[in-house]
Amino acid sequence: MLCSSPRGASPILEDVDDATGVIVGPDGLARPAWASVDPLLRDYYDTEWGLPVRDERGLFERLSLEGFQAGLSWATILRKRPALRAAFDGFDPDVVAGYDDHDLARLLADPGIVRNRAKILAVVGNARATVALRDDPEVEGGLPGLVWSFQPATTPRPSTFAEIPTTSAESIALAAALKAKGFRFVGPTTMFALMEAAGLVDTHLVGSHRRGSSGVWPREDHPAHPAPPA
């Protein structure tokens, strides 16, 4: 069966259980195909993906990485993440917001990152928009407050890859809200990927060992992790 890793990633050919959509690894843990082969992706899936990110710098980094990922595989971005963090001063919004033409030239010459001028300029512009949100009377809680205000009332419960959505009403609304505040590379699909990665929705397959593990959604909503008896 042909399965795909996170948004835009390269397809991986694996023997996937059609009933659960997952592969049980040598450690006995069930994971989706994209997280079952590459050790880097497996560790990311097990320890980061889908856990709640509520701090400004963390969300700014996730927003930036999702923008860089557009048109590329997530594995590529994950491998470049250390270089991206170094190049963008740990994705500190205050520092990145102050970047000038010399920084742009430095970044465009850095072989360790994604040297896409439009994406780099978007990160700088998004840093400035992030800083501006702190004092925006229409937004409570800055970037984290704005992003988390679009957490949906319910989360998907996919049993197979085909059941995992790529957008939602909330991701469309979040994209529009961010664009209205000056953010770029924040389309509905990219924002749904952000919502998945940052824990606003749980799109772990029902058969995965990570299903219902974020603490954001009640565990009784997740068949893979039934609530303990009273």
- Note the pLDDT of residue 110: 98
Tens digit of pLDDT for each residue in 83-132?
999 999 999 999 999 999 999 999 999 999 999 999 999 999 999 999 99
Q: Of 10, 130, 122, 110, nearest to 68 (Cα)? A: 122
CA dihedral for 140, 84, 8, 181, sign (positive or negative):
positive
Catalytic site residue 66?
A: yes
Q: Considering the entire predicted model, what is its pTM?
A: 0.88
User: In Å, how far are 21, 69, 145 from 91, measured between CA atoms?
Assistant: 35, 16, 18
Q: What is the token pair recorded at 207? A: 């058969």
Tens digit of pLDDT for each residue in 58-78?
999 999 999 999 999 999 999
Q: Which of 49, 74, 99, 217 is catalytic?
A: 74
Distance, in Å, from the CA atom of 122 to the CA atom of 56, rounded to the nearest integer, reads 17
CA angle at 166 for the pair 162 and 172, rounded to the nearest 5°: 150
Total residues found in the chain within this entry? 230
Q: What is the token pair recorded at 171? A: 């991701």
Mean pLDDT of the chain: 89
Catalytic site residue 217?
A: no
Q: Which of 56, 61, 66, 170 is catalytic?
A: 66
Catalytic site residue 44?
A: yes
Distance, in Å, from the CA atom of 50 to the CA atom of 216, rounded to the nearest integer, reads 10
